[in-house]
Structure 1
Amino acid sequence: MTQPSTTVAPTTAGSGAAGGVPHQSPRRRPTPAAVAARLPAAVWALALFLTARLTGTLVLVLTARAMGKRPLAVLGRSWDSNWYLRIAAEGYGHSKQYPHILASDLAFFPLYPGLVRAVTEIVPLSGGAAGLLVSWTAAAVAACGIYAVGARLHDRATATALVLLWGLLPHSVILSLAYTEPVLTACAAWALYAVLTGRWLWAGTLAALAGLARPNGIAVAAAVLAAAAYEVWRRRGRKVPHSLWTGVALAPLGWGGFVLWVGVRQGDPLHGYFTVQRRWGSRFDFGVGALGFVRHLLLHHARFAYAMTTVIAAVALVLLALLLLDRAPLPLLVYSAVLLLIALGGDGFFASKPRFLLPAFPLLLPPAAALAGTARARPWHAAVVVGALAGLSYVYGAFLVVVNRTPL
């Protein structure tokens, strides 16, 4: 029997070297899209956030230079930043008389200046540079926490959209300054994530830190307490873990401890802190003063920042309604509602209300879900929306900090 013949393909000139090794085409460099696809979703979301904020910071710096102002002074020492940096350097005990108000540094909570002081003790940085380092680091930590909450409740695309929208809000320029909102948002986001995942000790600890960051940090403690109360009710007849009770005990300690300390220092433990706020021209009147200011805006000529504040406040109320209709988890609803109540129910500093609402990131969950759906179905449409938001954020942010004279 004859063996079947084997046909060998002829070697072409381009096949390789003398050993007959086939020629391998050079490897192509991966495209940016391919590299992005390999990144973990959380890293990709953080990269988008940092790109958005660094671009906004660059626009702010260029605008400051064009207006003849020093960029580092604009970034690190705008408005309330000076109060915080003075507390970090010298401690409490300073006040200043303005027309109609007596401003005391006891109105400012201690966590942010404490962190700034710690940085200056470790690293040879000026107060302004240390303040920016704390704020920028906290903003990145907050973005990661916001992503974690969004991914827990929805999916990675919605979580990424949530982080990006938070970084492109009209007042997100605050995230580029030496301000306390990034610190509060970082504590709040991870506290809410801890509640959603049943980590009560972490939730209580972070809520206590949030209460040391800002006056409206009490919203985090309210969210933790409401979620704990619901959990106790849900477990009625069954054992409640000790960590829940510990978290409940810790949650209000930061806010309550500082308010009590200021009261004791003022000689009135229960009312001293609120007296300090009234002297600043800030008090809670369930929105009566704010409504009166809006009426003034409608009847008389007003600064653009005030009109923008009115629009942002109205949109925030609509977003809260959408969050309710979406049946968001109780802690997110309580947190957002308390922040809205404090921001819109307080009298004085009307133009600062959007800044007070900056930590209310759960309000962005409905539009983030819509943006993620649009990105899947019509990516170019989503790109146009994000581009428009970025343009508004950068231009309005630069105007607000460099040109406008209304307090942030």
Structure 2
Amino acid sequence: MVAETLGGGGEPSAAGGERVAAAARRAGPALLLFAGIRGIGVLCVAGWARHTGRHPRTLLGASWDSQWYLSIAQHGYGSPAVTRTWPQLPAADLAFFPLYPWLVRALRAAVPLGAASAGLLVSWAAALAAAWGIFAVGERLHGRRTGVLLVALWALLPHAVVESMAYTEPLLTALAAWSLYALLTRRPVWAGALAALAGLARPSALASVAAVELAVVAVAWRQRRPDGRAGGRVPPGRLWAAALLAPTGWLAYVLWVGWHTGHGPLGYLDVQALWGSRFDLGRDTLRAVRRLVLTGAPPAYCMALAVVAVALLLYALLVADRPPAAVLGYVTVLVVLALGGTHYFASKPRFLLPAFPLLLPAARALAGAHRRTTALLCGALAALSSGYGAYLLTVAAIPL
């Protein structure tokens, strides 16, 4: 199916500005819907924050990992604030990739804002860009209505509050979605460049790199066959440029960490180990599930278990739908990384947020359902997402 990904025809010839304007008009309803859903979620968090005597900006912009990213944005890696707070983990902040702090720092240099406010603005802009990219992928694969519903479902996930926080998932999702769209529209070099940028955002950007490499290899193989010109031919130079470009961001940071720590190419794994995080093929996840089933746990952990179970079901349905292999490869790597890593079981749903193609089977089903059914279901999901997001930040007090 990757042959379809890079060989299915490009956009109509038109001025770049006109194409962008037309795309924005098509995506307008999806973006307005996304902004409305997430706006309601933010208002719920703000209401509960006020009720509990906390500031909404602090909860959304300076909670858990956000504090590390904002510290890097303000002071760089290895700042005295980090070493004083975490003396037993002197290199702990090296676990956090640099693109998001760079963007926060750049915004603060241009506009006089506090760190938390700048972080939220970067995240909200990235979330809108992600919603647009998700719509573009959904529309390209299954039509406009499916694209709109795909965005709505992504905004209505139980852990969608993360899309409104100073976290890196919105940024990674934006870059990954547009990289996939570039693959779907025969723009391999753009796909590789966006995957390279994603590689500076989060370690799980390996999924975007894998999608580009898979697409390049499959299309190159297809074009060697006698019928390889069918559906349009992608110049080999562009394919190999994309293949070489895609992993550069991820490799550059990982190798820099290894050099900076003096631990060599695998130094980043040592940094992750400081946090108790390593890849064990899911054994720790299975142990966590067993403990949850046998002994019970707080509601946040039960919800995390439910999200993981639904994600696996949606993955099976996605495989049955036979999407383009680059899309399936991207999702597969994200699911494996999210469920195959140790520690932080309550964070598994957050790690799965960039895996938006998992929602394609549900979006397609809703696109064919009666409008009243779709509205009722989306309303119920909106109540769950908004209420649960406020619960996570104001009551649960469990690191996301």
Give the TM-score, by structure 1 length: 0.87
Per-residue CA distance 1:332-381 (angstroms, 9 max, x = gap): 1000010000000000111111000000000000000111111xxx2111
> Which residue in 2 is equivalent to 1:5?
none
- 2:258 corresponds to 1:263: yes
Per-residue CA distance 1:314-334 (angstroms, 9 max, x = gap): 111111111110010001100
> Which residue in 2 is equivalent to 1:28?
none
Q: Which has the higher contact order (CA 8 A, sep 6+)?
A: 2
- 2:44 corresponds to 1:44: no
> Which residue in 2 is equivalent to 1:136?
124
- 2:171 corresponds to 1:183: yes
Per-residue CA distance 1:89-110 (angstroms, 9 max, x = gap): 0000144576997771000000
SS in 2 for 1:259: helix
Residue 66 of structure 2, aligned match among 81, 87, 106? 81
Determine the C-alpha separation between the residues in 1 that align with 2:91 and 2:159.
24
> Which residue in 1 is equivalent to 2:384?
392
Determine the C-alpha separation between the residues in 2 that align with 1:399 and 1:251.
38
Per-residue CA distance 1:32-51 (angstroms, 9 max, x = gap): xxxxxxx9441011111110
1:158 alignment partner AA? T
2:40 alignment partner AA? T
1:80 alignment partner AA? D
Shift in CA distance, 85/109, structure 1 to aligned 2, threshold 3 Å: same
Residue 303 of structure 1, aligned match among 280, 298, 303? 298
Q: Structure 1: give runs of 5+ residues left out of the alignment.
A: 1-38
1:295 alignment partner AA? R
> Which residue in 1 is equivalent to 2:8?
none
> Which residue in 1 is equivalent to 2:5?
none
> Which residue in 2 is equivalent to 1:383?
375
Determine the C-alpha separation between the residues in 2 that align with 1:121 and 1:269.
34
> Which residue in 2 is equivalent to 1:197?
185
Give the TM-score, by structure 2 length: 0.89
- Residue 299 of structure 1 and its aligned partner are, at CA, apart by 1.6
> Which residue in 1 is equivalent to 2:330?
335
- 2:218 corresponds to 1:230: yes
Determine the C-alpha separation between the residues in 1 that align with 2:88 and 2:103.
32
Determine the C-alpha separation between the residues in 1 that align with 2:372 and 2:74.
49
1:290 alignment partner AA? T
Deviates more, 1:101-110 or 1:263-272: 101-110
Shift in CA distance, 138/228, structure 1 to aligned 2, threshold 3 Å: same
- 2:260 corresponds to 1:272: no
**Contact map agreement 1:41 1:160 (CA 8 A) in 2:** no
Determine the C-alpha separation between the residues in 2 that align with 1:150 and 1:46.
13
- 2:113 corresponds to 1:125: yes
How many residues matched? 367
- 2:238 corresponds to 1:243: yes
**Contact map agreement 2:220 2:236 (CA 8 A) in 1:** no
> Which residue in 2 is equivalent to 1:212?
200
**Contact map agreement 2:277 2:342 (CA 8 A) in 1:** yes
Determine the C-alpha separation between the residues in 1 that align with 2:282 and 2:89.
20
> Which residue in 1 is equivalent to 2:21?
none
Per-residue CA distance 1:49-80 (angstroms, 9 max, x = gap): 11001111111111110111111111110110
Per-residue CA distance 1:377-396 (angstroms, 9 max, x = gap): x2111111000000110011
1:105 alignment partner AA? D
**Contact map agreement 2:199 2:205 (CA 8 A) in 1:** yes
Determine the C-alpha separation between the residues in 2 that align with 1:103 and 1:264.
13
Q: Structure 2: give runs of 5+ residues left out of the alignment.
A: 1-23
**Contact map agreement 1:102 1:280 (CA 8 A) in 2:** no
Computing the radius of gyration from Cα coordinates, the structure with the larger value is 1
- Residue 241 of structure 1 and its aligned partner are, at CA, apart by 2.8
**% of aligned pairs identical?**
55
- Residue 117 of structure 1 and its aligned partner are, at CA, apart by 0.3
Per-residue CA distance 1:3-58 (angstroms, 9 max, x = gap): xxxxxxxxxxxxxxxxxxxxxxxxxxxxxxxxxxxx94410111111100111111
**Cα RMSD (Å):** 1.6
Determine the C-alpha separation between the residues in 2 that align with 1:367 and 1:52.
18
Per-residue CA distance 1:188-208 (angstroms, 9 max, x = gap): 000000011110110000000
Per-residue CA distance 1:137-191 (angstroms, 9 max, x = gap): 0000111111110110011100000010001100110011111001000000000
